[in-house]
Amino acid sequence: MIEPRSEPTSTERLAWVTGASKGIGRAVVIELAEQGWQIAASGRDIAELDALTAETNELSGSVHAYPFDITSEQASSEIVAAIERDLGFIDMAVLNAGTHESVDGVAFTVAPLRRLVETNLMGTAHCLAPIVERFVARGGGRIAVVASLAAYRGLPTASAYGATKAALINMCEALRVELAPAGVVLSVITPGFVRTPLTDRNLFPMPFLMEPDVAARRIVRGLAGKRFEITMPRCFAFIMKLLRILPYPLYFTVTRRLVTRSEP
């Protein structure tokens, strides 16, 4: 039985951040800790989570490591229970853990799509379900799901990644309205390119590349409000939104230029 929620004081606010061991999630944890939040930081890499805990030791908030793999539904539900048993009620969940694999369309196979669905879509759902259950029962809470600007339209090499992130946005659009009467505010975070271990693998020039601390500041600022979409950088988001309203013939003329493979 879940106890009715009592409003936390500012010093008691507890955030759960997944994908906190590196990249965007790590930067968000540091930003939240600077603002005095208590944070349960998750990822699989225990050494990286311990390093983050040590690094944030001097900040006004406190960071606690809760390692687990989001592809396990059971582990996800157990970790939420463990965080609340140890630290109290979670006030905000930032479901950021995710990964990327480029897919060459002419060599399309099921395996990479399945891997990305298991992590980005199902993994996020595994984390979302126990949080929604608790927040609805207590009558409030803040949730943010990290998607991507790459989800706004189908892009070459992103047939698998884009599909998982577009699915997350669609799922959150539906849930946002249903959860609002229960006092739960759900947002999506749609970053453009951010310099992280994930994008360090990219060999192509990344337009409007942002540093993780800059992205994290914008994300945390967005989390303080209630807007559905927390997006950055603005100019890249504007371009991607413009692409979204282009008719197909025009859109494919634009994206064809992104296909570097030489035609036979």
Taking the complex as a whole, how short is the minimal distance between the CB of residue 231 and ligand NAP, in angstroms?
Answer: 10
112 binds ligand NAP (CB under 6 A): no
What residues numbered 179-208 form the site for ligand NAP, per CB under 6 A? 191, 193-194, 196-199
Q: Which of 15, 16, 17, 21 binds ligand NAP (CB under 6 A)?
A: 21
CB nearer ligand NAP, residue 80 or residue 138: 80
Taking the complex as a whole, how short is the minimal distance between the CB of residue 257 and ligand NAP, in angstroms?
Answer: 21
Taking the complex as a whole, how short is the minimal distance between the CB of residue 23 and ligand NAP, in angstroms?
Answer: 2
- What φ, ψ does residue 168 adopt, rounded to 5°? -65, -45
Task: Report how many residues bind ligand NAP under the rule CB under 6 A.
Answer: 30
Q: Which of 56, 119, 157, 187 binds ligand NAP (CB under 6 A)?
A: 119
Burial string for 140-159 (b: 16+ CB within 10 Å, else e) reads: ebbbbbbbbbbbbbebbbbb
Taking the complex as a whole, how short is the minimal distance between the CB of residue 98 and ligand NAP, in angstroms?
Answer: 2
Taking the complex as a whole, how short is the minimal distance between the CB of residue 20 and ligand NAP, in angstroms?
Answer: 6
* Binding segment toward ligand NAP, per CB under 6 A, in 6-14, 19-27, 221-229, 249-257: 19-27
For residues 80 to 99, the per-residue mask of contacts with ligand NAP, x marking binding by CB under 6 A and - elsewhere, is: ----------------xxxx
For residues 35 to 74, the per-residue mask of contacts with ligand NAP, x marking binding by CB under 6 A and - elsewhere, is: --------xxx--x--------------------xxx---
Active site (annotated) includes residue 161: yes
- Which class for 5: exposed (0-12), middle (13-18), buried (19 or more C-beta within 10 A)? middle
Active site residues: 161
| Site residues, ligand NAP (CB under 6 A) | 19-25, 43-45, 48, 69-71, 96-100, 119, 123, 146, 148, 191, 193-194, 196-199
